[in-house]
Structure 1
Amino acid sequence: MTTTEAGTSPSPALLQVLDGTVDLHCHSGPSPFPRRLDHVEASHDGARIGMRAILVKSHHHNTAMDVLAMGPQLAQAPTPVYGGVAMNSEVGGMNPSAVAVAVLMGGRCVWGPTVSAGQHLLAHQHDDGFPNNTGNLYEEEVSVFDSTGAVSQQADLVTRLVSDAGILLTGGHLDGESMSAFFATAARNGVKRLLVHHPDYIINASETAIEEMLGHGAFIEHELSMYHPDVAAPHWPIEQLVDWIHKIGPERTVLDSDLGQVGNPLPVDAYLLIVQQLLDHGIKAEDIRQMTCRNTAFLLGLEETNR
């Protein structure tokens, strides 16, 4: 039986709960941020708990191209890996051309601006625990709004391309107001798969903004890394995650790792530790599977519904 880094063997019951997990937030490499493992290694890590699929994320480039370039190695790897593109300045910002390329190359996700979002740039002026680039990437702010304050034509077209492809759109690290406007446009244009990342980290979305985004059909993601004791920040107590699950409900909650960085635990070790803690705090196994398997499979386009 595989053991965790802490040296303890996961129980058969825990492995059964996690079998079929889809991780929508894996930060394997390559990346300008130092990474602990590459996409092939992430695939093998996922097999330890029978992961169904992994979505690999870069803040800086189109990871669908990584998946194609690593095709021969990934073909021999146990867990399917998918990619996408984030709307940061490194790919031209809110760039429909970058989205079109990602879709053409098999991308399954378009992330809203993350490291280029104004909210991120503001938060990163402080010690927020976010990793640093290995060099100056000349980051520029990317907004979903034009000079008049309306959602820009580029952002509108991005959502139309996502809708046509039937893939996932996330709000990245946009502030709540910007993300809600972006998602409202996306919903009008027919996007069915919407995801809000860590609403209480960097984004700091208000309850009103969260309710608006839920109204547009969005799911709310929480990252296991933020509750892991071996991750430097934000190092939140498990009770905070339990409260979020009760507040939003498992039908619209997603649990992902947000791991792969140098110095942090492996993604699977976070699932083993944090999911066991959730079980110990009374979250039902069926609800955990809803959040880790069914909701995530729907968002990645592996299933037509999350039921």
Structure 2
Amino acid sequence: MFELDGAIDLHVHCGPDVIDRVGDDLDVARAARAAGMAGMAVKSHIESTASRAYLTNRIVDDFRYIGGICLNYPVGGLNAAAVDSCLALGGRLVWMPSSHARFHADLMGELGNWGYKGQRIHTPRGATGITLFGDDGELSDDTKDVVAVVKQHDAVIGTSHLSPEEVVALARYTGTEKVKLLLTHVMWTPTVDIGVARHVIENGGLVEISSSVVGGYSQRMSLDDAARMITDLGPENIVIASDAGGIRHPHPHEALRVLANNLIEKDIDPVALRTMLCGNPARLIES
């Protein structure tokens, strides 16, 4: 059985939250540590998790809880001030908008809604969704301000629920600016595919394959397709994460264990798995 010793999960959800979760920060961190993991980054759709990380790290020994911020309406959208505050407090990841992204609404028909019971966050009246593009079709000044703050703190940008076109434009810009970029849960929609992933890698970014996308209730990518993507893109360019913590998932550490062992059955080398679960995540979050 593949052991998770030293693994760092860069995409976890846990409480407190307005969405049902399998446990709170301490529950999930303690379970991950007991499984041998070294750390996890927690994504909230409504707030910075930097302060939560500080407190969790004071309580849970020999484990690194990593804070971050997701740029939905509750934090002001593409708000460089909110980003700077999070990163100044020790946050390491800045996710672009999730269910408040305009592209998310194009897919789901509604902002703030994932299409599942209990999976909803408040959307301001009249909101049309957050996009990285200005009226001229180019990256907006607000987007560039966010990238500049991330660069200043040597942190990481996650693409979250951006459109393929936004991901490509952002990757080109972060590549020029030498800012670390992680393509969040590749294949979460069929259009955020291996072609988009290749563009991210060509511009110096990494690609996240998440347990939530491979099989399970979403069934957006088969194990065969995940193994093929790892082989095609190279494990040096991939991060394996869970995107777990919701009540339809196992605990994050268990989601990672199952995916890792299933990938071994598809002839992915355990050494390559350690690169994707341990080495690449550690390299991303270190300044």
TM-score (norm 1): 0.85
Structure 2 residue identity aligned to 1:100: D
Deviation for aligned residue 1:23: 0.2
CA shift in 2, pair 1:217/1:85, >3 Å: same
SS of 1:28's partner is: coil
Contact 1:160 1:186 in 2 (8 A): no
Deviates more, 1:156-165 or 1:218-227: 218-227
Cα drift, residue 185 of structure 1: 1.8
What is aligned with 1:3?
none
Could you tell me how far 1:143 is from its partner in structure 2? 0.9
- Counterparts of 1:67-82 in structure 2 under 5 Å? 67-68=53-54, 71=55, 73-78=56-61, 79-82=63-66
Q: Secondary structure at the match of 2:146?
A: helix
> Residue 275 of structure 1 corresponds to which residue in structure 2?
260
Q: What does residue 91 of structure 2 align with? A: 107
Contact 1:175 1:203 in 2 (8 A): no
Structural RMSD (CA): 2.1
Is the aligned partner of 1:258 residue 2:243? yes
Any conservation in 1 of the 2:80–2:142 contact (CA below 8 Å)? yes
* Structure 2 unaligned residues grouped into runs of 5+: none
Contact 2:187-2:213 within 8 A present in 1 as well = no
Alignment of 1:79-228 (within 5 A): 79-125=63-109, 132-133=118-119, 136-138=122-124, 140-191=128-179, 193-202=180-189, 204-228=191-215
Change (3 A) 1:240 1:80: same
What SS is found at the alignment partner of 1:279? helix
- C-alpha contact 1:74 1:80 (8 A) present in aligned 2: yes
User: Residue 232 of structure 2: SS of its match in structure 1?
Assistant: helix
How far is 1:249 from its partner?
1.0
CA distance in 2, matches of 1:134, 1:257: 20
- Partner secondary structure for residue 100 of structure 2: coil
Q: Which of 288, 294, 298 in structure 1 is aligned with 2:273?
A: 288
What amino acid sits opposite 1:176 in the alignment? P
* Amino acid paired to 2:90: G
Q: State how far apart, in whole Å, the 1-side matches of 2:53 and 2:117 are.
A: 23
Q: Is the 8 A contact 2:181 2:205 kept in 1?
A: yes
Check 1:209–1:66 CA distance in 2 against 1; reply closer, same or farther (3 A cut): same
> Which of 28, 36, 43 in structure 2 is aligned with 1:42?
28
8 Å contact kept, 1:156–1:186: no
Cα 1:88–1:135 change in 2 (3 A) is closer
**Separation in structure 1 between the aligned mates of residue 116 and residue 70 of structure 2, nearest angstrom:** 17
CA contact (8 A) 1:228 1:274 kept: no
Cα gap change, 1:131 to 1:226, in 2 (>3 Å): farther
* 1:130-164 deviation line (CA, Å, top 9, x unaligned): 66445643365111111111111111111111111
Q: Does the 8 Å CA contact 2:239/2:280 hold for their aligned counterparts?
A: yes
Q: Which amino acid aligns with 1:215?
A: E
Q: Aligned partners of 2:29 and 2:252: how far apart in 1? A: 10
Contact 2:43 2:68 in 1 (8 A): yes
TM-score by length of 2: 0.91
Would you identify which runs of 4 or more consecutive aligned residues in structure 1 move more than 6 Å?
126-129
Give me the whole-angstrom Cα distance separating, in 2, the residues matched to 1:36 and 1:76. Answer: 19
The match for 2:223 among 230, 234, 238 is: 238
Q: Which amino acid letter does the alignment assign opposite residue 181 of structure 2?
A: L
